[in-house]
Amino acid sequence: MIRCSLLAASVLCIGGCMEVEQVSNAQKQAGQTVRRDTNPWSNEPLANGPKWSKGDRTSWEEQIKKRQLAQHEHRRIYE
């Protein structure tokens, strides 16, 4: 009984000492249910929406950054 609680307690201590490091799901995925989420670029673009090639992060980011320039006051609407 005591031995068990001692064991449980030491496990408790080892864990209690740290704060889980915050990493993006790209780095930490396997077996961690909560961190499983599809990356936006893994989706098929909408038929009439912005275009990128599915699964290609770079092309998705390029179009996002281009789209973002619409927030620049010298370009009123997205071109």
**Which residues are at the interface with other proteins (CB under 8 A)?**
1-3, 5-6, 8-20, 22-26, 32-40, 42-43, 45-46, 49-52, 57, 60-61, 63-65, 67-73
- Check if the beta carbon of residue 60 is closer than 8 Å to that of residue 68: no
In the block, which residue shows the tokens 């449980």? 8
Nearer to other proteins, 71 or 79 (CB): 71
Nearer to other proteins, 17 or 79 (CB): 17
The minimum distance between CB 75 and other proteins, in angstroms, equals: 10
d(C-alpha 79, C-alpha 75), whole Å: 8
In the block, which residue shows the tokens 């499983």? 36
- Check if the beta carbon of residue 14 is closer than 8 Å to that of residue 8: no
Nearer to other proteins, 37 or 79 (CB): 37
